[in-house]
Amino acid sequence: MFARPTGLEQHARCGLDGKFTFHSSAESTVAKPSPESGEIGCCPSSECWTGNSCQQDNTFFDAGENGFYCQQGNWKPVRKKFSPDRVMGGFCPEDDQCLVHVLGNSAFDNQPDKFLLGNPLQPNTVPRCINNGQFILDFFCNHGNWTSRTKLLAVQLLSLAQKSNASKFAISCAAAQNALNAVDYDAGRGVVSQFVSSCVVGNRLAPCVNNFCTLKFPEGIVAIATSSNIPINDPRSVLLALNASIDGCNGISSGGFGECAPLSIGKLWYAPDINSVVYLPPLLDTSLQDTLTSAELAGILDFVFTKHNPNNPQFNLSFFNRTTILNTLFYSENGNQRIFAFLEQNQTPLRLNYVGVNYKNINLGRDPCFTYFKRADAQALCEGQSSPAAFIVVSKSGNLAALFADLGAKLRLV
């Protein structure tokens, strides 16, 4: 005999171990394997067996770097994902999805607007995950991994530079006050600063636009690109900062960039899918098409993990392996010389700022590790270079991050 419990768990089930357990549902049980060992247990057909208990449908089992999703009573392997700032790790039902908040409401999944309308202090008011191709502010979901719309625009500008066959060019992406020469002048339809400052986006105060990217050539030719967090025809649209008509990009279809209404000088292109614009000056009159930095970034990661990470356990650099946002960067070419630098900000639970810089075929003088970097940041890692043709420096302290723009200016090729 056994005592029947009180409360909701009124239904007894006999487990494979010969012991009774009590449940709130009268649903019959079936044998289920646990996700890791395959150990068998009894659960309702709609639930999954963890090895210790039954777990409800549409929930996750954390197995470290990977996990399992209970989908209609069966375990589905899923990989661990991170929030855009990498503060939280968790899982999404589909591999192409990106994690927004580990405590988010799955009923709001794939609805990025719910994030902007929700309360940041109440996770159940925001999505848990959003889908590939969707974005929240600058953060863009790219096949299950976060990157930024700014980085997508940098790729477009690199494509333009390579199509131009120019031997010298520089791409820079940064906040408006750092990327543009000035923001306190009248562009013809108002002072630029009012179009690049803060706006109400949903129920939140956020930048009207994200970082600006510029593509510069020695002749003074400059292309400009940015993504908007408000409708492109909003009264505070960035189009007005570019002296374009507020409705000049209406009616452009999704699926890439389309040309907006003619400007007095140059051309303006708009991509509805990423709510982004690119201004092209007259001498760079070309159509936009659909990677930036892959080789340079790979070189930095190799330097981190083969040269420094194993020997510096107190200076853990594992977060470098998830460098994906890339919305503050600098890339320059002059013949066979190249510079690639990035700054990632407020990442990981420690809210780190960290940088990586990769120089190729550039004479940095004698002992550049000390001359350029150790003086600015004693914690910068630049020892142990593997090739005289390449020089790499990384740091996670704030000192070098604060000098990011200055270092790019001093060492730029264009």
Per cent of the chain over pLDDT 90 is: 43
The pLDDT of residue 153 is 93
pLDDT tens-place string over residues 243-287: 899 999 999 988 889 999 998 889 999 999 999 999 998 877 666
Residue pair 312/320 in contact (Cβ under 8 Å)? The answer is no
Tokens 């993504």 -> residue: 227
Tokens of 125: 């008011």
Across the range 10-31, mean pLDDT stands at 65
Residue 265 vs residue 23, higher pLDDT: 265
Condensed to tens digits (0 to 9), the pLDDT of residues 196-219 reads 889 999 999 999 999 999 999 988
Nearest Cα neighbor of 136 from 122, 146, 123, 125 is: 146
Closest CA to 202 of 180, 229, 167: 229
The answer, yes or no, to whether residue 314 has pLDDT greater than 70, is no
pLDDT per position as a tens digit, 107-126 = 999 999 999 999 988 999 99
The length of the chain in residues reads 414
For residues 354 and 320, is the Cβ–Cβ distance under 8 A? yes
Q: What is the pLDDT of residue 194?
A: 80
**Overall average pLDDT of the 15-31 stretch:** 67
Looking at residue 2, its pLDDT comes to: 44
Does 7 score more than 60 pLDDT?
Answer: no
In this prediction, what percent of the chain has a pLDDT beyond 70? 83
Contact criterion met (CB below 8 Å) for 374 and 382: yes
Residue at 116: amino acid letter? L
In this structure, of 7-16, 136-145, 326-335, 397-406, the range with the lowest mean pLDDT score is: 7-16
Rounded average pLDDT over 35-64: 91
Closest CA to 174 of 209, 219, 133: 209
- The whole-number average pLDDT for the span 227-236 is 96
Give me the chain's average pLDDT, please.
Answer: 84
CA distance 346 to 333: 29
Q: How confident is the model at residue 290 (pLDDT cuts 50, 70, 90)?
A: very low
Question: Positive or negative, the Cα torsion across 133, 139, 142, 143?
Answer: negative
Q: What is the pLDDT of residue 17?
A: 59
- SS3 category, 155: helix
Q: Which residue has the higher pLDDT, 87 or 410?
A: 87
d(CA 205, CA 186): 24
| Rounded alpha-carbon distances, angstroms, from residue 302 to 146, 198, 320 | 21, 38, 10
- Strand 135-136 and strand 204-207: the pairing is unpaired
What is the CA angle 131-134-139, rounded to 5?
115
By DSSP bridging, strand 81-82 and strand 54-55 are unpaired
Provide φ and ψ at 194, rounded to 5°: -70, -20
Provide the pLDDT for residue 214. Answer: 94
